[in-house]
Amino acid sequence: MLYPWQQTLWQNWQQLLSQGRLHHAILLLAAKGSGREELAKQLAQTVLCQNCDTEPCGVCHSCQLFAAQTHPDFHHVAPLEEGKQIGVDAIRQCNRWAVETSQLAGQRVIMIEHADALGEAAANALLKTLEEPPSGCQFILTAQSLDSLLPTINSRCNKWRLAVPDEQETRRWVEKQMMQSVKLESVRLNGGAPLATQQFIEQGQDIRHGNLLEAFSRFLQPPFTGIYDIAALCTKEGIISLKWLSYFLVDCIKLQQGAAAHLVHRESLDKVQAVASQVTPAVLMTQVRKANELHKKLEKHTGLNEELLIVEWLTGFIAH
């Protein structure tokens, strides 16, 4: 079942499918939490379907195998863990699948999720297969953006961008799913992606985010007490907390520069105002940069003393 914001792109693909003009390597660029995996799988199932050209029938042998996740001609590759690279061995396996004979005498589909996580050796191993595609083999790649994707892979694929809905549309959709009102800042913290916003609220992150902001804005008022409480809250939440605080500090900078119309934290304006009036622009700029650097460091190196490093970052507000 596709989501409303996916329909336009899906109809474009259906038109190409009906004309037999779908490119052998589709690259779907879409934000996390936009349902890109569901859309890619819908395309995969349609390509493999034995009855229909433009949508899965749901009843043929191929569709039933696909639904049971046991389709012998559907091959799925993704990073073993979020943030990890796809290794060259996984891609060499893809290349073997690409030249195998279809077990159901139809098409073969190879789906590579997070293609922007391909290491250089893996990307180079895939390149030759994309350049000289075996007959009857459909590649479907998904990625968040082109930034981390090797230009050589990018140039061999037919690119499609799935736009996130307008933020009010996202808000209405999430409110309808959850049958409760949703803050605009929850939508903005998740880049407007509907499924990411829904998950954010379902997991209670919106409440924990609010509690962290409350403690953080209090800490930034003299005499700057509660530093270890904030560090403990951040450590408990994980490194996403640094992203949240970074967004909040950027909002404070925006307010100081008269760009209040573009704040992420619309419903926490009082906290933004309190901090913006208390902390100088120079300190805010420095601390945003350091928060982002720390986030990258903790993302890359597991096993570091997160709480200690966050306390060290927070002392940067007091030192000034």
pLDDT in tens, 33-59: 999 999 999 999 999 999 999 999 999
Q: What is the CATH number of the domain that holds 146?
A: 3.40.50.300
Q: What is the CATH number of the domain that holds 212?
A: 1.20.272.10
Tell me how far CA of residue 184 lies from CA of 31, 166, 214, 241, 264, in angstroms: 18, 12, 18, 18, 8
Q: How far apart are CA 41 and CA 312, in angstroms?
A: 45
DSSP state of 277: T
Q: Is residue 170 part of a domain?
A: no
109, 132, 162 - which closes a domain: 162
**Residue 76 contacts residue 48 (beta carbons within 8 Å):** no
- What does residue 147 show for φ and ψ, rounded to 5 degrees? -55, -45
User: Do 213 and 109 belong to one domain?
Assistant: no
User: Do 214 and 154 belong to one domain?
Assistant: no
Angle between helices 227-237 and 306-318 (to 10 degrees): 140
Q: Spell out the residues 6+ positions from residue 283 whose beta carbon is closer than 8 angstroms to its own.
A: 316, 317, 320
Q: Is the peptide bond prior to 72 cis by the omega test (within 30 degrees of 0)?
A: no
User: Do 154 and 223 belong to one domain?
Assistant: no
Strand 74-77 to 137-143 pairing: unpaired
Name the token pair of 10: 């899906």
User: Do 26 and 145 belong to one domain?
Assistant: yes
User: Do 214 and 302 belong to one domain?
Assistant: yes
Q: Is residue 171 part of a domain?
A: no
Q: Is residue 62 part of a domain?
A: yes
Give the residue-averaged pLDDT of 259-286. Answer: 94
**Residue 219 contacts residue 227 (beta carbons within 8 Å):** yes
User: Do 219 and 146 belong to one domain?
Assistant: no
Name the token pair of 99: 């030249």
Only one residue has tokens 């570091």, namely 304
Domain that holds residue 239: 204-318
Nearest CA to 192 out of 54, 1, 5 is that of 5
Domain count, the chain: 2
Sign of the Cα pseudo-torsion (210, 213, 219, 221, in order): negative
User: Do 215 and 108 belong to one domain?
Assistant: no
pLDDT in tens, 185-240: 999 999 999 999 999 999 999 999 999 999 999 999 988 899 999 999 999 999 99
User: Do 136 and 276 belong to one domain?
Assistant: no
Q: How far apart are CA 165 and CA 163, in angstroms?
A: 6
Query: What pTM was computed for the model?
Result: 0.89
Q: Spell out the residues 6+ positions from residue 52 whose beta carbon is closer than 8 angstroms to its own.
A: 46
User: Do 12 and 148 belong to one domain?
Assistant: yes
pLDDT in tens, 80-138: 887 788 999 999 999 999 999 999 999 999 999 999 999 889 999 999 899 988 999 99
**Residue 29 contacts residue 162 (beta carbons within 8 Å):** yes
DSSP state of 166: P
Angle between helices 205-219 and 227-237 (to 10 degrees): 160
Tell me how far CA of residue 289 lies from CA of 14, 97, 121, 246, 302, in angstroms: 45, 45, 32, 8, 21
Q: Is residue 186 part of a domain?
A: no
Nearest CA to 138 out of 56, 43, 63 is that of 43
Q: Is residue 176 part of a domain?
A: no
User: Do 224 and 131 belong to one domain?
Assistant: no
Q: Name the maximum alpha-carbon separation found in the chain.
A: 73
What pLDDT score was predicted for residue 94? 95
Q: Is residue 297 part of a domain?
A: yes
Q: Is residue 169 part of a domain?
A: no
User: Do 122 and 212 belong to one domain?
Assistant: no
109, 130, 162 - which closes a domain: 162
Q: With 70 as the cut, is the pLDDT of residue 320 above it? A: no
144, 162, 180 - which closes a domain: 162
